[in-house]
Structure 1
Amino acid sequence: MGVFDSWDGKRVAWVMLGAVLAALIGLALFRYIGPFLFAIFLYYATRPLYRQLDRVIGHPNVTTTATILFVILPMIAVVVYAAVVGLRELDQLLAASDLEAYRSTLEPYLQPIRRGNVGELRDAVGSGGGGSFAGALRQGVPGAVGRLLSVAGEVFSVLARFFLMLTILFYLLRDDEKLRRWFYESIDHDDDIVSYTQAVDDDLETVFLSNLAVILVAATAAAVTYYGLNFVASGGTVVGTPVLLSLLIGIGTLIPAVGMKIVYVPYGLVLLGVALTTPKPLWHPIAFFALTFVVVDTIPDFFARSFLSARSGVHMGLVLLGYFLGTLAFGWWGLFLGPIVVVLAVHFGETVFPGLASDFLRE
């Protein structure tokens, strides 16, 4: 006789224990729902790559590590590149303004950045920038230690969430087949549940993979467009950092409603302001806006999403609505929760609800 063969005290005890464990796990996941949902997004977006690599490598741990590095390394490269460009822009701002005194404090770090010498930058950080920051601390900067501890706590929190996301992603990629077999065996391969979960699984892969594809297509189109614009432009370059701007535009496609416009519209307005106040040609910002809107924003988004949504059982308008409402309702992690809820709801309405409604009406 199995544990759940009768409604006796043992079965009630097992159910209560399962409910407590589920509540504790749910509470832990809710406290870190952002990294968990981001790991699910990356899992579905990178699963096709993992399966292709696994056919060649044949070792789950190595294949999973290679897949994650393929995704994480470009992200780290974007952050580092953005930091370097930001420091350079800050250096130019300080040099062109009345903030020269602050520039001298940053000079030990800015010089290695300008020369591209990573080793010298590391030595400057290790030595405290020639003692400038250490001297400031010795002179009794108010609350310096407290601010440093606060920053260290924030950095540790971000790194902990990053590590949690990587851990969840690693085991989802490596052990998804084991989890799937365990679940189907637990439900005795019920046809309705299996068909529902498989349909949801396939559509989530299509939806999240389409996001990754749009990011790559938009970033590539932007980079080619901006390099071409700089090549034909007279009176200096139009886009000063085409690679960084292209990567930010690609990432901006994830933002609901506005999308990449949150990146290129402010940049174009800056170009317009420069053209109106300096001898820069006025056609620079006009060409930037026109090419970005047509070549970068409209064409890649339309063709990439249309091609991939044709493979999905969920209307793309509903998915976009899920992105928008999810972000409004839950914050940044609603960007990933919204599409999941939409896919679950659509397939529930198509496959489960009609049967439940007919059974209810017959009763």
Structure 2
Amino acid sequence: MGVLRGRDGTRLVWIGLGLVIAALIGLALFRYVGTLLFAIFVYYATRPLYRWLDRYLEHPNVTATVTILFVVIPMVAVIGYAGVVALGELDRLLATSTLETYRSVFQPYLRLAREGNIGRLRAVLGAGMGGSVAGTLAQGLPNALTRLSSIAGFVFSVLARFFLMLTFLFYLLRDDQKLRRWFYDSVDHDERIVEYTTAVDGDLETVFVSNLAVIAVAAGVATATYVGLNVLASSGSVVATPVLLSLLIGIGTLIPAVGMKIVYVPYGLLLLGLTVTTATPLWHPIVFFAVTFVVVDTIPDFFARSFLSARSGVHMGLVLLGYFLGTLAFGWYGLFLGPIVVVLAVHFADEIFPDLVDDLLVG
């Protein structure tokens, strides 16, 4: 205990306490590392907007809220639009002949209910003629409840992670300057650390803002292209939902290696299948593939990404490699972790490693 009472002992105690606290925080965040990384991505992508708004609003809470709404409203709009389309497809599914068995079972009882003949309906059910209904419900109800429970759990998990991401994002936007000042004060404004973290911070903003800009450019080009294609098509619309497909194509640009092809190739194959099963002309999928590949897939991915990435101090090839390897190594959140690791590694190799080698050789 005498050692613990001394200067070195006290320092060891504080270091141990700090490690325990860091371990607990790390354990709590480990399960939600993807949510945290997504919040960091959105933070860097929207930070220029936050700082621009802060010049006029001059209230951090309001500025952060407006910035977050700028991100949340389009996301909710896309999800809502996709939900409307999905409900339309579900309505078509419910209208198919596969459900005629259930209709034939329930139809007599529904007819009595519509006529208001409650006494007759009660007599029919009480006489055992409702056994088929009970049997149908007994077969389908447990499976339906199981599916509903799974869906409810999934929805709750997604909403919880979404609100956690918004919480991270809000405080990163509002208090990033305080966090930066605390860190620099803690390291006594060490010149090497300040230069390294400043360079990393600037390049991360450039990389992630470029991603957001490429998404917007890709979605805009795709929307204009598909709406124009539908206008020019005399035999009906080529793309049934041009806005939704364009937004999904924009989001698809984040996927490493394949990019937006993960969206438009399946849709093109669907159009090709419709030419066999329906009266859809064969030129619809052919023109769709040609126009999408030449216009939608080339302009945003090559010109826009190259122009925006040229502002960064990190080679574009390394950034793309970070996206690809990060996703392979870490899963979906590697899409955000990969570029962060690349930027950290590039600036470490450029600014820190040479000094370490010099110190080692001199030593």
TM-score, with structure 2 as normaliser: 0.86
> Percent of aligned positions with the same letter in both sequences?
75
Distance 1:186 1:84 in 2: 52
Ranges in structure 2 where 5+ consecutive residues have no aligned partner: 1-5, 106-134
Distance 1:298 1:241 in 2: 21
Letter in 2 for 1:184: Y
- Secondary structure of 1:312's counterpart equals coil
Q: Does residue 161 of the first structure (1) align with residue 161 of the second (2)?
A: yes
Per-residue deviation, residues 316-335 of structure 1 (Å, max 9, x unmatched): 11111111111111111111
Distance 1:80 1:101 in 2: 32
Q: Is the 8 A contact 1:94 1:100 kept in 2?
A: no
Letter in 1 for 2:296: V
Distance 1:288 1:202 in 2: 39
Residues 9-48 of structure 1 correspond to what in structure 2 (within 5 A)?
9-48=9-48
Distance 1:277 1:316 in 2: 44
- Secondary structure of 1:142's counterpart equals helix
Letter in 2 for 1:308: L
TM-score, with structure 1 as normaliser: 0.86
C-alpha displacement at 1:362, in angstroms? Answer: 2.5
Indicate the residue corresponding to 2:116 in structure 1: none
Q: Is the 8 A contact 1:215 1:250 kept in 2?
A: yes
Indicate the residue corresponding to 2:338 in structure 1: 338
Q: Is the 8 A contact 1:47 1:173 kept in 2?
A: yes
Indicate the residue corresponding to 2:326 in structure 1: 326
Q: Which region of structure 1 is more displaced relative to structure 2, 55-64 or 82-91?
A: 82-91
Indicate the residue corresponding to 2:110 in structure 1: none
Indicate the residue corresponding to 2:185 in structure 1: 185
Q: Is the 8 A contact 1:253 1:259 kept in 2?
A: yes
Per-residue deviation, residues 201-220 of structure 1 (Å, max 9, x unmatched): 00000111111001100001
Q: Does residue 356 of the first structure (1) align with residue 360 of the second (2)?
A: no
Distance 1:248 1:138 in 2: 40
Two-structure CA RMSD over aligned residues (Å)? 2.3
Query: Matched residue pairs, number?
Result: 330
Q: Is the 8 A contact 1:91 1:103 kept in 2?
A: no
Structure with higher Rg: it is 2
Indicate the residue corresponding to 1:304 in structure 2: 304
Shift in alpha-carbon separation, 1:102–1:18, aligned structure 2, 3 A: farther
Q: Which region of structure 1 is more displaced relative to structure 2, 136-145 or 20-29?
A: 136-145
Distance 1:350 1:61 in 2: 38
Q: Is the 8 A contact 1:249 1:260 kept in 2?
A: yes
- Secondary structure of 2:298's counterpart equals helix
C-alpha displacement at 1:281, in angstroms? Answer: 2.1
C-alpha displacement at 1:158, in angstroms? Answer: 1.7
Distance 1:92 1:257 in 2: 35
Per-residue deviation, residues 235-254 of structure 1 (Å, max 9, x unmatched): 11100000110011011111
- Secondary structure of 1:228's counterpart equals helix
Distance 2:77 2:158 in 1: 17
Distance 1:247 1:161 in 2: 22
Distance 1:213 1:355 in 2: 36
Distance 1:330 1:294 in 2: 32
Letter in 2 for 1:72: V
Shift in alpha-carbon separation, 1:18–1:103, aligned structure 2, 3 A: farther
Indicate the residue corresponding to 1:240 in structure 2: 240
C-alpha displacement at 1:301, in angstroms? Answer: 1.5
Distance 1:280 1:151 in 2: 35
Distance 2:104 2:7 in 1: 77
Distance 2:137 2:147 in 1: 12
Indicate the residue corresponding to 1:111 in structure 2: none
Q: Which region of structure 1 is more displaced relative to structure 2, 280-289 or 178-187?
A: 280-289
Shift in alpha-carbon separation, 1:13–1:145, aligned structure 2, 3 A: same
Shift in alpha-carbon separation, 1:143–1:246, aligned structure 2, 3 A: closer
Per-residue deviation, residues 261-314 of structure 1 (Å, max 9, x unmatched): 000001011111222443322221111111111111111111211111111000
Per-residue deviation, residues 43-76 of structure 1 (Å, max 9, x unmatched): 0000001111111111110110000011011101
- Secondary structure of 1:212's counterpart equals helix
Indicate the residue corresponding to 1:273 in structure 2: 273
Letter in 2 for 1:62: V
Q: Does residue 251 of the first structure (1) align with residue 251 of the second (2)?
A: yes
Distance 1:250 1:354 in 2: 40
C-alpha displacement at 1:12, in angstroms? Answer: 0.8
Q: Does residue 347 of the first structure (1) align with residue 343 of the second (2)?
A: no
